[in-house]
Amino acid sequence: MTGALRVITSGCLILAIASAASAADPKWSWPTHRGNSERTGNRDGSEGPQQPNVLWVYKAPEHFVASIVPGDKSIFVGGLGAFNTGVFHAISADHKPAERINWSISAPYIKRPTVCAPAVSNGLVMFGDGMHQTDDALLYCVKADTGLPIWSFSVPGKLVHMEGAPTVDRGKVYIGAGAAGVLCLDTTQLMLNGKTQPAEAVIPTIAKAWSDMTAAYERDKKKNPDLAIPPSEEALPQAVPQLKWQAGKGTWHVDAPIATAGEYVFVASAFLDAEKVGQRSLMCLKAASGTVVWDTKLDLNPWSGPTVAGPAVLVGCSSIRFDRKLIPKAAGEVVALNLADGKVLWRHKTPGGVLSAVAVKDGLAVYTCTDGKMYARKYLTGELAWTYDAKTPFFAAPALAGNVAYAADLNSLMHAVDLKTGKRVWVFDIATDQSVQVRGRVFGSPVVHAGNLYVATCNLDSATGQPSVVVCLSDQPAGVTALNKPITVDAKAKTVTVPCRIAMRKLPTLKEIYPLEVIASLPYPRGQKAHETVVTFDVKPSDVHKAVTSLGLKPGKPAKGTGAAAVGPEVQITLRFPGITGKPRTIPIAKTLVDTRTGKPMPPLKWRFTGSVMRKRDPSKPDLTFGADLTGTLISIFPVTDETVFQSNMTLKEESLLKLETNKSILPPLGTEVKLIIKVLP
C-alpha cells in the first residue's frame, strides 16, 4: 500500500458503516453494480461529454477486466497482475495530480486475481477476489481515501470465487461466490480480537495499529535502515463481519452481481458445462433470510446479472463467457420477468451473447451484444425501439447519462448514441488518441461521473506486452494541451488575448503533413482542422466572439468557397511568445507562415471579424449552435469554412498558388505556451 496511508492519524477515521443507499451517503457512493439497480453506470445525474477529449490517461502493466467505479477523489479498479496476481488501485480523478495513483493494494494482502467491480459506501470500498477456476475467495473492505484494510471475510471451497460486484444495502453486503452461492454479511458489527464491536469502534483501533507499526518502522530505520521492515497490511488486527445467511451453496453457481429491491434480493445462477455444476436460473430471495421466493429457469447462462426497474427484473444471457475465440458461436437472449412472481414478461433471442448488464432509463432497456449491435427495447413490453450497429463485438454494457448511451466496443472505440433515436452522436477511437497510442480490449463497462466518461482496457490476449489503460474522456480540453487560463479582455487597449500552444503539425492518425489552412483551432479531436493550424487553444470560439463584441465591434459575413473574400471590420492579430533573451516577442500572425514552394514568408494580410454561421448540431432538431464551436476553427487563412470567427482577405484562388507551412525560424518549439492577441482597430 502506498501514499497517504502511512501518515494516518486515528483522530479523523471514525466512520459509521450503514446502508450505501441511505440518504446520508454522499452522491458519489456506488453501492451496487453499475451504481444503481437500473445498471445505468451513472449515479450522480450528470451528462457525459458531447465533444470528447482524453483529459488524462493512466497506463499500467496489469489488465483491467472489471468495470471502473468512481469515488469522491479517486477512480477505483481491480486488475490482473503478473501470473494472475491481484491488484487494486485508487487512481486520482484530478486533471493534473501530483501523483496519479492515490494508493494501491496487491499481494500478499490480496490473495487471488481481482475481476470484481467494487462497491463504495460511506467512505469504504468492498471487492472480492478470484476468477473462473480458482478456489477459495476473500471479500475485502478498505478505506476509500487511504486503502487502510478494515475487514475481510474468507469463503473456502472448490470453484469458490467472487467475480460479480457486491451490493451494499442498509448495513448488509450481498455477494455471489461461485459454488458458494450467495452470502449476506452484516457490516455494522465486526468481530475483532474475539469481541463483537460496532464498526465505528473498530476503524480507529485498526488505524491506531497501523500508525503504531509505521512509527516503529521509522524508529527502526534510524537505528539500522538495512534491517528495518516496513509495516504490512497482513500484520494488522483482522476484523470480520458477521455472516447472516448463505444460500445455494453447492447447488447454484453465482458469478454475476446481485441486485436488491426493498426486502428482496435477486440472484442469477449459471450452469458450468465442463464441470456439470450449478443451475441456470434467476431467483428472488428474502433479504432477511435468503429464503427463495421464486425461481425461474433460463435457457442460457445469465452472466450479466439482474437489472431491477420498476415492476420488472431483466437479465442478459449468453452461451459463451468473455472469450473472443468463441464469439462466432455465441447465442444470447434477454429476458424480462415480473418482479412479484418471476413470470416471463417478454424474451428476445439475440444473434450473439449478452454478457454485461442490461441498462434501463426513460422506459428503455438498452443492452449490447457480441454481434456488434446495441439494442433498445421498451422495458415492460420488449418492443424494439432501435438498433445501433457498431460492426465490432461488445463485451461491455452501455452507460446511460442524459439523453445518450455510451458503449465501448471490443476494439476500444467509444460510441455515443442518442437514447431516443439510436442515431450516432459521435465515435471516439481511444487507442489512436495522441496521449494513448495503445490498442486494448474493453471488457469492463464504462461509467459517467461528474460529466466525465471513464473506461479501462485489458491486453490479456496481446503478444506484444502492451500496457492497459484507464482513460478519462471529457468535454474539458485535452490533458496534453490544457492551459486552464481564461480569455483576457483589455477594454482600454481594445484587445482580446487568447492563451494558446504551438500546434502539432502531424497527428499520429495521419500519414502526412497537410498544408496550413487555418491559424487557430481547437486541438484534436475537437478541432476538425487541428492538423492544419499554427496554434491550438482551449476555449470556445463563441467565447472569443463575445469578447470581441464586448469591445464594440460587430461581425461581418464569413466567406466560403470560390466566391468573394470575407467582409467585416478589420482587426489586428499578433502572436506573443517567449524570446531567446526571455523578453516576450510579438509578431504579426502572417509572419508565422512560409510558402514552402518559394521559401518566402507571407506578406502582410488583412484579418476580418466575420463571425460564424449558425448550424444544427442535430439535423432532426431546430436548435442552432455557433458553427465555429462545432468545427473548432477560430481563424481561417482561406475560406474553406464559414464556421469560423476571423478570416483573412485571401480567397480560394490564392490557396491553389500557395503551400503554407509554419515558419520554424521564428516560432518557438511545439507545445510552447503563447498568446494570440486580437486588437480592435480605430
Residue 270 has pLDDT above 70, yes or no: yes
Domain identity same for 225 and 292: no
Residue 1 in any domain: the answer is no
**Burial 12-26, CB ≥16 within 10 A → b, else e:** ebebebbbbbeeebe
Instruction: State residue 525's pLDDT score.
Output: 66
Determine what percent of the chain is predicted with pLDDT higher than 70.
Answer: 92
Residue 575 has pLDDT above 50, yes or no: yes
Q: How confident is the model at residue 12 (pLDDT cuts 50, 70, 90)?
A: very low
Instruction: State residue 70's pLDDT score.
Output: 94
Domain identity same for 181 and 199: no
Domain identity same for 210 and 265: no
- Rounded to whole angstroms, the Cα distance separating 153 from 137 reads 8
Q: Name residue, grid cell 469560423.
A: 644
What average pLDDT score do residues 338-347 get? 97
Residue 7 in any domain: the answer is no
Instruction: State residue 10's pLDDT score.
Output: 24
Domain identity same for 529 and 432: no
Residue 5 in any domain: the answer is no
The three-class DSSP label of residue 524 is coil
CB atoms within 10 A of CB 559: 27
Domain identity same for 330 and 402: yes
Instruction: State residue 527's pLDDT score.
Output: 82
Least confident of 202-206, 264-268, 432-436: 432-436
Q: How confident is the model at residue 439 (pLDDT cuts 50, 70, 90)?
A: confident
One-letter identity of residue 17: I
Domain identity same for 466 and 364: yes
Domain identity same for 569 and 606: yes
Q: What residues have CB less than 8 Å from 72, skipping those under 6 apart?
A: 26, 28, 144, 145
CB atoms within 10 A of CB 681: 11
- Rounded to whole angstroms, the Cα distance separating 41 from 317 reads 19
Instruction: State residue 7's pLDDT score.
Output: 25
Range of the domain at 118: 19-193+237-474
- Rounded to whole angstroms, the Cα distance separating 263 from 340 reads 12
Q: How confident is the model at residue 618 (pLDDT cuts 50, 70, 90)?
A: low
Q: How many domains does the chain have?
A: 3
Least confident of 48-52, 222-226, 594-598: 222-226
Q: What is the pLDDT of residues 388-408, one digit of tens each?
A: 999 999 999 999 999 999 999
Domain identity same for 462 and 548: no
Residue 2 in any domain: the answer is no
- Rounded to whole angstroms, the Cα distance separating 368 from 416 reads 13
Instruction: State residue 3's pLDDT score.
Output: 31
Task: Give residue 433's Cα distance to chain centre.
Answer: 15
Residue 148 in any domain: the answer is yes
Q: What residues have CB less than 8 Å from 141, skipping those under 6 apart?
A: 124, 125, 126, 149, 150, 151, 152, 187, 241
Domain identity same for 245 and 229: no
CA distances from 456 to 73, 117, 470, 576, 627 (A): 17, 12, 4, 40, 33
Residue 284 has pLDDT above 80, yes or no: yes
Residue 508 has pLDDT above 70, yes or no: no
What average pLDDT score do residues 475-482 get? 58
Instruction: State residue 507's pLDDT score.
Output: 65
Q: Name residue, grid cell 478505506.
A: 143
- Rounded to whole angstroms, the Cα distance separating 193 from 176 reads 27
Least confident of 294-298, 502-506, 542-546, 604-608: 502-506
Residue 620 has pLDDT above 70, yes or no: no
3-class SS letters over 357-370: CCEEECCEEEEECC
- Rounded to whole angstroms, the Cα distance separating 532 from 503 reads 9
* Residue ending a domain, choose from 474, 504, 529: 474
CA distances from 584 to 575, 587, 622, 663 (A): 10, 10, 47, 18
Q: Is 380 exposed, middle or buried (0-12, 13-18, 19+ CB in 10 A)?
A: middle
The three-class DSSP label of residue 653 is helix
* Residue ending a domain, choose from 216, 236, 256: 236
Average pLDDT over the chain reads: 89
Residue 17 has pLDDT above 60, yes or no: no
Residue 193 has pLDDT above 50, yes or no: yes
* Residue ending a domain, choose from 177, 208, 236: 236
Residue 6 in any domain: the answer is no
Question: What are the backbone angles phi and psi of residue 402, rounded to the nearest 5°?
Answer: 60, -130
- Rounded to whole angstroms, the Cα distance separating 522 from 503 reads 10
One-letter identity of residue 257: P
Residue 46 has pLDDT above 50, yes or no: yes
Q: What is the pLDDT of residues 59-84, one digit of tens each?
A: 888 899 999 999 888 999 999 887 78
Domain identity same for 95 and 124: yes
Domain identity same for 178 and 295: yes
One-letter identity of residue 578: P
Instruction: State residue 584's pLDDT score.
Output: 87
Instruction: State residue 99's pLDDT score.
Output: 86
Residue 303 in any domain: the answer is yes
Least confident of 378-392, 412-426, 432-446: 432-446
Give the domain CATH number at 69: 2.130.10.10
Instruction: State residue 569's pLDDT score.
Output: 96
Q: Is 421 exposed, middle or buried (0-12, 13-18, 19+ CB in 10 A)?
A: middle
Instruction: State residue 478's pLDDT score.
Output: 58
Question: What are the backbone angles phi and psi of residue 591, rounded to the nearest 5°?
Answer: -70, -10
DSSP state of 291: -
Check: pTM over 0.85? Answer yes or no.
no
Instruction: State residue 18's pLDDT score.
Output: 29
Residue 388 in any domain: the answer is yes
Least confident of 34-38, 81-85, 100-104: 81-85
- Rounded to whole angstroms, the Cα distance separating 125 from 141 reads 6
Domain identity same for 576 and 557: yes
Least confident of 324-333, 383-392, 602-611, 667-676: 667-676
